[in-house]
Chains A and B, each alone.
Chain A
């Protein structure tokens, strides 16, 4: 690794101790010797295995559930339904007052996505749990579904989630998160060119090598130890406490090395039901997703639809940007209201635009609930923004990199969501990128600075 020390030279002392040094990871000796402990590297005598019976339909009413054959299956200890769960209706971000609670730990009257958990089977082997789960009979009345953003927002669309009442999240600002800065209509009126483009993305599975799961042991004093690979220990602790109506001091959550997460282990999907199972059976309980569940059940990055409309001058200045951003949350909120909100602040990108108008929506569909993944809310936005930047540059016949210099944000610029820019480094990064990529740019751009007039 090499530090390009010519940048910001007058702003920096060169007593850097760590930057520019190659340092060994503190955990790597454990990794290369196979000694690192992951949650599933534990076995307890008498452990029960939890297998979830899941909805085969995108949207259906549950008429009845018949457990009689499954309960008789050899090795089965208990089958949990929604009636066993003290506070079955939850939503993760209720911890920071982002409601309403909109999701059942185990389905009650309806299922709203293909894969929704209905009942949990506990048996003394994985095989017995799988076999018994196949004997659970659920009678469904299949309902009309909506599987994409446009269908969900169409007039007369079936309502995905009655806890919201409409197929989008209602923010305190209304049906969308809004950013209003300058006068976007005036900007479009002045612009030499206007370009409106629509961008779509599909859900993306994080696909960590280690699947989501936990192992719970009852300690005999109505306290429980939960070994988990959650990426969000306190979301897990606090939501489990709410769902099980148990004070936090009875829940000993043990984290540790996560075998890859990438955001896919931020939701609270295995711990509450596994702890309840351990409580009701008095036995250690293992609930670990198989690879199929990791791919199909754990929440992916959301599908998005992004409409970008830009007004640009022949000299390269973007004078107006209007954005309609839609995040497909799937059937439940999880972290998507937050992700969509992040996008609202992000849409001008690292560019200073005088007139900005952004609406971002969090939309409900009968798809797998989406949630966190590496920069969710802004990563797909950046894809759309940067493709749009290339198209705009081409529209006015300008080099795409020089076009970005003209619009790059600099220290002191006000961003559309009213945060003043500090510590900008886009110009310097692009200068170095042009050098490394051997992409020639005009001398005046090489002389620009993020923080001083040159």
Chain B
């Protein structure tokens, strides 16, 4: 199968590789780049566990062809903590008991980050809407929603 060269930044670092034509970004991130934080839950775009941020937009990496990501800025939950300091969302997910098995958590955090980047003071309904593409089967959704609202509050306190 013909290989395709692709180059992008992942959490601020340059990455380049030859990928199979038709390979998904999810597969390339996990198996070639070595960032396994995005998860393969359904591989048909319905569960949100593979969510990543591409050029500021929330994307399903299981439905994104790697070869279309040339020059893109990609962010994952695996790169969210900087120098070992957790992002407020990560802190809030810990404090609010918003993770149980943890499999949906990286995707949830990506969806929440895109929301907070655009809307620093979301309502409960805004959070529900922003997480509506992400499925969780353990904790229930309320602790996750609480965590996002808590993170938003701690952000605005830090900004004040």
Contacts from A to B (Cβ < 8 Å) = 24-25, 27-38, 40-41, 43, 125, 127, 206-211, 257-262, 290-291
14 more contacts with CB within 8 A, not counting A28-B102, A40-B40, are A24-B94, A25-B94, A27-B102, A31-B105, A32-B77, A32-B86, A33-B78, A33-B90, A34-B76, A38-B36, A38-B103, A259-B39, A259-B103, A291-B44
Q: Can you list 17 A-B pairs with a CB-CB distance of less than 8 A? A: A24-B94, A25-B94, A27-B102, A32-B77, A32-B89, A33-B77, A33-B78, A33-B86, A38-B103, A206-B137, A207-B137, A209-B39, A209-B101, A211-B40, A259-B102, A291-B43, A291-B46
* 0/1 string, B32-58, CB within 8 A of A gives 1: 000111111111101101000000000
* Closest-CB distance, B119 to chain A (whole angstroms): 21
In the complex, the answer to whether B138 meets A260 with C-beta atoms within 8 Å is yes
List residues 93-123 of chain B with CB under 8 A from any CB of chain A.
Answer: 93-95, 97, 99-106, 109
Name the B residues within 8 Å of A206 (CB-CB). Answer: 137
Considering the chains assembled together, what is the distance between the CA atoms of A291 and B78 in angstroms?
A: 24
Residue of B93, B103, B136 near A32 (CB, 8 A) is: B93
Name the B residues within 8 Å of A260 (CB-CB). Answer: 101, 103, 137-138
Q: Does B129 contact A (CB under 8 A)?
A: no
* Closest-CB distance, A93 to chain B (whole angstroms): 26
Name the B residues within 8 Å of A38 (CB-CB). Answer: 36, 39, 103
Number of residue pairs A-B, CB distance < 8 angstroms? 99
Q: Does B63 contact A (CB under 8 A)?
A: no
Residue of B22, B80, B136, B137 near A33 (CB, 8 A) is: B80
Q: Does B30 contact A (CB under 8 A)?
A: yes
In the complex, the answer to whether B105 meets A32 with C-beta atoms within 8 Å is yes
Residue of B22, B91, B97, B135 near A209 (CB, 8 A) is: B135
In the complex, the answer to whether B101 meets A41 with C-beta atoms within 8 Å is no
Considering the chains assembled together, what is the distance between the CA atoms of A290 and B47 in angstroms?
A: 13
In the complex, the answer to whether A258 meets B94 with C-beta atoms within 8 Å is no
Considering the chains assembled together, what is the distance between the CA atoms of A261 and B138 in angstroms?
A: 9
Residue of A25, A127, A291 near B41 (CB, 8 A) is: A291
Q: Which residue of A lies closest to B40 (CB)?
A: A40
Name the A residues within 8 Å of B106 (CB-CB). Answer: 34
Name the B residues within 8 Å of A208 (CB-CB). Answer: 101, 103, 137
Name the B residues within 8 Å of A125 (CB-CB). Answer: 20
Contacts from B to A (Cβ < 8 Å) = 20, 22, 30-31, 35-44, 46-47, 49, 76-78, 80-81, 86, 89-91, 93-95, 97, 99-106, 109, 135-138
In the complex, the answer to whether B30 meets A43 with C-beta atoms within 8 Å is yes
* Closest-CB distance, B19 to chain A (whole angstroms): 13
The dominant DSSP class at the A interface is loop
Q: Which residue of B lies closest to A128 (CB)?
A: B1
Name the B residues within 8 Å of A27 (CB-CB). Answer: 102
In the complex, the answer to whether B30 meets A34 with C-beta atoms within 8 Å is no
* Closest-CB distance, B135 to chain A (whole angstroms): 7
In the complex, the answer to whether B99 meets A31 with C-beta atoms within 8 Å is yes
The dominant DSSP class at the B interface is loop
Considering the chains assembled together, what is the distance between the CA atoms of A273 and B74 in angstroms?
A: 38
Name the B residues within 8 Å of A35 (CB-CB). Answer: 37, 78
* Closest-CB distance, A322 to chain B (whole angstroms): 37
Q: A32-B93, A32-B99, A33-B80 are in contact. Are A41 and B105 (CB under 8 A)?
A: no
In the complex, the answer to whether A29 meets B137 with C-beta atoms within 8 Å is no
* Closest-CB distance, A290 to chain B (whole angstroms): 7
Q: Which residue of A lies closest to B109 (CB)?
A: A32
Name the B residues within 8 Å of A209 (CB-CB). Answer: 39, 41, 47, 49, 101, 103-104, 135-137
Considering the chains assembled together, what is the distance between the CA atoms of A27 and B139 in angstroms?
A: 14
Name the B residues within 8 Å of A31 (CB-CB). Answer: 93, 99, 102, 105
Residue of A34, A207, A262, A291 near B77 (CB, 8 A) is: A34
Name the B residues within 8 Å of A291 (CB-CB). Answer: 41-44, 46-47
Name the B residues within 8 Å of A40 (CB-CB). Answer: 40
In the complex, the answer to whether A33 meets B103 with C-beta atoms within 8 Å is no
Considering the chains assembled together, what is the distance between the CA atoms of A125 and B46 in angstroms?
A: 23
Name the B residues within 8 Å of A43 (CB-CB). Answer: 30-31
Considering the chains assembled together, what is the distance between the CA atoms of A33 and B102 in angstroms?
A: 10
Q: A32-B86, A32-B90, A209-B49 are in contact. Are A25 and B103 (CB under 8 A)?
A: no
Considering the chains assembled together, what is the distance between the CA atoms of A341 and B39 in angstroms?
A: 38
Q: Which residue of A lies closest to B37 (CB)?
A: A34
Considering the chains assembled together, what is the distance between the CA atoms of A431 and B94 in angstroms?
A: 33
Q: Which residue of B lies closest to A207 (CB)?
A: B137
Q: A35-B78, A43-B31, A259-B39 are in contact. Are A25 and B101 (CB under 8 A)?
A: no
Considering the chains assembled together, what is the distance between the CA atoms of A208 and B137 in angstroms?
A: 6
Residue of A24, A30, A207 near B102 (CB, 8 A) is: A30
Considering the chains assembled together, what is the distance between the CA atoms of A24 and B80 in angstroms?
A: 20
Considering the chains assembled together, what is the distance between the CA atoms of A127 and B49 in angstroms?
A: 22
In the complex, the answer to whether B47 meets A25 with C-beta atoms within 8 Å is no
Residue of B22, B41, B80, B99 near A210 (CB, 8 A) is: B41
Name the A residues within 8 Å of B30 (CB-CB). Answer: 41, 43
In the complex, the answer to whether A41 meets B36 with C-beta atoms within 8 Å is yes
Which of B93, B97, B102, B105: most chain A CB closer than 10 A?
Answer: B102
Considering the chains assembled together, what is the distance between the CA atoms of A100 and B46 in angstroms?
A: 40
Q: Which residue of B lies closest to A40 (CB)?
A: B40
In the complex, the answer to whether B137 meets A262 with C-beta atoms within 8 Å is yes
Q: Which residue of A lies closest to B38 (CB)?
A: A34
Q: Which residue of B lies closest to A294 (CB)?
A: B42
Q: Which residue of B lies closest to A31 (CB)?
A: B102
